[in-house]
Every structure is written in C-alpha cells, then in structure tokens.
Amino acid sequence: MPAKSFLKRIHIWRYKYISHKNFVFLLSILIGLLAGIVSVVIKNITYGIEWFLETITFSQSSFYFIFPIIGLWLVYLFVKHISKQPIEHAIPTILFSLSKKNGLLKRSKIYLPLITAPITVGFGGSVGLLGPAIASASAISSNIGQLFHIDRKTRTLLIGCASAGAIASIFKSPIAAIIFAIEVFSLDLTFASLLPLLIASVSSVLTSYFFLGDEVLFNFTVVDKFTIKDTLFYLVLGVGTGIASIYFSKIYFGVYAFFNRFKTNGQKLIIGGLAIGTMLYFIPPLYGEGFGFINDLLHDNHLKALGKTPFDAFIDNIWVVIALLIGITIFKAIAMTTTLAAGGAGGIIIPTMVMGSALGNVVAKIINNLGLNFNVSESNFTLIGMAGLIAGVLHAPLTAIFLIAEITGGYELFVPLMITVSMSFIITKNAVEHTIYTKELAEKGALLTHNKDKSVLTLMTLDSVIENDFTLLHPEMSLGKMLHKGVAKSSRNLFPVVDEDKRLVGIILLDDIRNVMFDQSLYNTTSVETFMHNPPDYINYNEDSMQKVMQRFQDSGAWNLPVIKDGKYYGFVSKSKLLTAYRRELINFTS
C-alpha cells in the first residue's frame, strides 16, 4: 500500500474515532518515548567516543588537550562537505521557529545534533548535550505534528513536550522538565497544556529507566540539613551566583564578537582549538561536559575533581585549591563559548551547572577556612550554586529550584534554594534583560513571552496586513489626469505619490482635493505636487516588528500608514485591518 494512501486512512480513522484532546495525549506519549530514546542515543554515542579515546591513549590525560582540536576539525569537515548546513544553537532556533515559522523545523534537525554534538563533547569540547537533545527531540515533534496536520498552537505544545521529555530523561526530573518548558518556551500553564507535558515527561523518564536502569547523573543524598544560621551565607551565595550569571552572559557575547572578526571558519577553528587546548592543559576539568567534576565535588573529593594540573605540588594548600576552583568558575564560560564560536555543537545548560557547582564549592570553602569558626556544608553549597547559576543565566528560577530538589531526591534544601535562586534571579534580571537564548530574538521582535499582547504581535506577520490595491500617482501629473486615471478608477480615498524610481514622495487624501475636484479651470494648471503632503509616519518593512508597527499607529493617530521596502513604496497598512488581524490571532492564541 502506498505511504500516502496509508496515511490518509490513518487520518480518516483518527478524525472519526479519536477526539483532538485524546489524540494530543497519545502524541505526548509517543513524543516522550522518542525524546527519551534521543537522550539515550546522544549520551551513548558521546560516551562511546570518550571510551575509545581513553582506550587509545591509555588514560594519559596529557594528550587530552589535543582532542578538542580534532573534534572541532571533524565537525568542520562534516558541516562543510556532508551536511552543508551551518550549526545553529538549539533553544534560540526552536524559539524562532515557534514565533516566526509556526513551529516548523527541518527534518535534518533530527539527526544533525546527534552527530555534531557527540563529536564535539566526546572529543572534549567544553559544552553540554542537553541542548542538542532538546533540538533533536523538538524536530521529531515538529515533523510528527506536520505529518498529522496538527495546528500551530498544538505543535507548539508538542515541541514543549519534546523539550520536557529530553530534560526528564537526562536528569530523571519530570517536574523540573515541565517547568522548564513553561518558563523557557513561554507555554501557558493550563490543564490543557499541563497534562500533555506531564505525560511526555513520565513517558520519557520511563524510557530512560528502561534503557539505563536506575542510573542517575548525581548520586547524592542530603546529609547536612538547613539551619537558620546559614541564611546569610546563602544570601551571599545568591549574590555571587547573580554576579557570575551576568559575567557568563557578557563573556558569551564578548567571545562571539571576538570570533566574528575572523572571516573564515577555518581561522575560527584554529584559534578556538588552540585556546581550548591551552585552557585544558592548565585546567583539565574543563574537558567535556563535566558531570564527573560535579559528582566529585558533591562527594567532597576536590582533589579528584581537579585531576592532574601543573599546580599539583601546591595542591595541599586549600587556598591553591580555592584558586583553581575559581579558575574553573571563570574559564568554564570562556571554554564553552570558545567551543561554540569555533564551530562546535552543544548546549549551555550543563556548563552553567559546572560553573555553578565550582562557585558554590568555592564560597563554602572560603567560609570554612576564614578562621572565624563558621562551618557550612560544601556539598549543599555545590548543589545550590548550580541552582543559582541556572536561575541567573537562563532566567528560569523555578526550573532551578525543582531541578536541584529532584536531583537530591527530596526537599530538605528547598528554603536555601529559594533564598539563593531568588537573589541570583533578581540581580541578573535587573542587569541583563534577556538571556543568551533570547537577546537576539528580542532585538528582532521574534520572541514569545508570557505577555499575551506581545506574543500575539510577535506571531503576526507584516505581509498579512499590507494592502497593495492603491492607485499610484506621480508629482507632475495634472489634477485632471489624476481625477480621470486615479480617483475615478479607485475605490480608495488615499493615493500614494511616487517618483520614477517608485520612491514615496507624498500622499493625497480625497479630502485634500474635495473642494477643487469639480473646478475644471484647475485641471490643467495644477498638479499632484500642489496637493500632496507627507504621511504622518512610515513603516519600514525591513526593520519594524509588529510591536513597532502598532506603536507607530498609536503615536501618529493615523488610520493608514505607508510601507517602505528597500527605500521604495510597497503598500499601506490600515489600522482597521491591523486590529482585525490582531483580534483573530488573539482568539487563535488563547483558545
């Protein structure tokens, strides 16, 4: 049976016997299952590469600083000669797809992250696998939605299910996964959205258990309970993670700006590879994702976490250890961004956690070694430092709290988590309005948020409200000619005036000529130029977002505004059509 005929029968059967709501539930199960498989596959490919490299080098870590250069080179060759598609960052690409492409993602996005990210991370690139896993799962979800003719709003929800599934599978934290989808993808928290997210998360977690058993990333149990006397220290940690989050964002954009100076990808690869190799030589824990580093700190084994460094002769001095951990805090952001800017593929969430764990451990060690008889839990500070960085860098405080709470298997640290996370989020949000994910999208007017008005305007397109059925006039045209060739043949009361190059030089309203249009003595003695005037404002097709268009109407009080594209007249937008389109989109968005 032909594939198209088979799919047609499935569609007919589905429309007859399964309601839309129940069908979404079924798809949530499927997407959760596939997201879990994606997470397992991407992890196993990466671990396979790491195992192979350890085998051929006989665990000689002194060779490891060479591997990231090889990994970047392999990704470069793959992109240039095989995929021939530039590497795109996972979350921003998905967010742009949701706002401007109706949630449509290419099929190639399903498998490309499963190739480029494991090569990058397996060879020691200082990035994470969570972002690529979310990208691949979201592409699967998008294409399933297209296969079953799912509408845009439901497709958006299913992409949220995919991201929740990937996170739930990797961390075995279904609640945090749901909250991440709501916070980062700006999904509405309603029963209609919550249940599919929950189903997808549980389905994905079960998939992970099936393939990996009860293996967890962080094998940790809270031993030291929260005490009220530690409140001030957790506030200090919150301030520290807030400042570190701002630093993380600034470094990210700064390193990218530096690499954008290089004209070719080959130059970026060489410079980036050498920089990463140098950092790894002095700070080996920057190698790869860094889960081993976090686990060692959680078990109070900072010597194993730091590994072999050129400073081993001084490692017995706790302040040298603190200095090295500060180095990891500072250079993890640089190594991560360098890996990405040089052409690698990966995510930023895991590096954020590594940086936060190092900072939290540093703060605890400093408090414990100041000689003031203070004693705090270094393991707890390591965990909560991760939450502070996640809240600050991603602007996702609830995700941070529930992720760490689920990792620890309980809620003993809920109060210090809230203290540190809220402080970090407040500081970062006031200093950095948009995250690494959203800054460029916000500047382009392509960012969906929980503000429904802004989101509806973001989903609208300028092309959908532009009208082109206006009669064009020229400045030298006589009044008589304008009346016979323009007014008499047009149903509009507005006429754009353009020059020979179709540049808009003015407009004429019917009211402007109403008093003279029957005075035949003026037909040959006056011209269009006599009556035309400038419009109250202009819409720039190439630059103005729909929010800006709405603002222009509000500020000018106009009913119609001309659209200029590439310096030339392109059409008009009327306030009535704009508001009608806005209302229609609002109904679709909130229904």
For the entire predicted model, the pTM comes to: 0.85
> Is residue 179 one of the residues assigned to a domain?
yes
Q: How far apart are CA 47 and CA 289, in angstroms?
A: 11
241 and 187 in a common domain:
no
Per residue in 282-314, pLDDT (tens digit) is 888 898 888 889 999 998 898 888 888 888 788
426 lies in the same domain as 540 = no
In a domain, 222, yes or no: no
Task: Flag whether 344 is in a domain.
Answer: yes
Q: Write out pLDDT tens, residues 356-366.
A: 999 999 999 99
Domain termination site, one of 185, 212, 239:
212
Is 221 a member of any domain?
no
Express each pLDDT in 202-219 by its tens digit: 999 999 888 887 776 777
Planar angle of CA 451, 452, 454, nearest 5 degrees: 70
CA distance 204 to 164: 9
- Can you give the pLDDT at residue 528? 86
Higher pLDDT, 65 or 540: 540
Q: How far is the first Cα of the chain from the last one, in angstroms, to the nearest whole number?
A: 38
Q: What was the pLDDT predicted at 166?
A: 95
Q: How confident is the model at residue 62 (pLDDT cuts 50, 70, 90)?
A: low
- Using alpha carbons only, what angle is made at residue 502 by residues 498 and 505, rounded to the nearest 5 degrees? 35
Do 93 and 168 fall within a single domain?
Answer: yes
pLDDT for the residue numbered 456: 83
- Give the pLDDT of residue 49: 92
pLDDT tens per residue, range 534-591: 999 999 998 888 889 999 999 999 999 999 999 999 999 999 999 999 988 888 777 6
> Does some domain include residue 255?
yes
> Could you tell me if 195 and 257 lie in one domain?
no
- Contact residues for 83 (Cβ-Cβ < 8 A; gap 6+): 108, 112, 115, 116
The answer for residues whose C-beta is within 8 angstroms of residue 118's C-beta and 6 or more apart is 42, 45, 46, 49, 129
- Single residue among 450, 475, 509 that ends a domain in this structure: 450
Give one DSSP letter per residue of 280-323, joined into a string: HHH-GGGSSS-HHHHHHHHTT-HHHHH-S-TTGGGTTSHHHHHH
Number of domains in the chain: 3
List the domain range (segments joined by +) for residue 160: 3-212
398 shares a domain with 467: no
Structure tokens at 463: 């092309």
- CATH number of 399's domain: 1.10.3080.10
Whether the CA torsion 363, 437, 155, 573 is positive or negative: it is positive
On whether both 417 and 471 belong to a single domain, the answer is no
Q: Predicted confidence band at 63 (pLDDT cuts at 50, 70, 90)?
A: low
Asked if pLDDT for residue 196 goes beyond 60, the answer is: yes
Mean pLDDT of the 487-511 span? 88
Q: What is the pLDDT of residue 224?
A: 81
Cα–Cα distance, 141 to 345 (Å, whole number): 21
Residue 548 lies in a domain: yes
Note whether 134 and 200 are same-domain residues. yes
Same domain, 349 and 458: no
Assign residue 528 the CATH number of its domain.
3.10.580.10
Asked whether 507 and 533 are in contact (CB, 8 A), the reply is yes
Question: Does residue 565 lie in a domain region?
Answer: yes
Q: Domain check: are 237 and 327 in the same one?
A: yes
Mean pLDDT to the nearest integer, 395-415:
87
Tokens of 148: 């079953």
Question: What's the pLDDT at 3?
Answer: 65
Residue 167 lies in a domain: yes
Question: What is the rounded CA–CA span in Å between residue 209 and residue 349?
Answer: 22
Identify whether residues 427 and 469 lie together within a single domain. no
Mean pLDDT, all residues of the chain: 89
Same domain for 439 and 487, yes or no, is no
Q: Are residues 183 and 297 in the same domain?
A: no
For residues 193 and 273, give the distance between their C-alpha atoms in angstroms, rounded to a whole number: 43
**The last residue of a domain, from among 163, 184, 212:** 212
> What's the rounded Cα separation, in Å, for the pair 420 and 402?
13
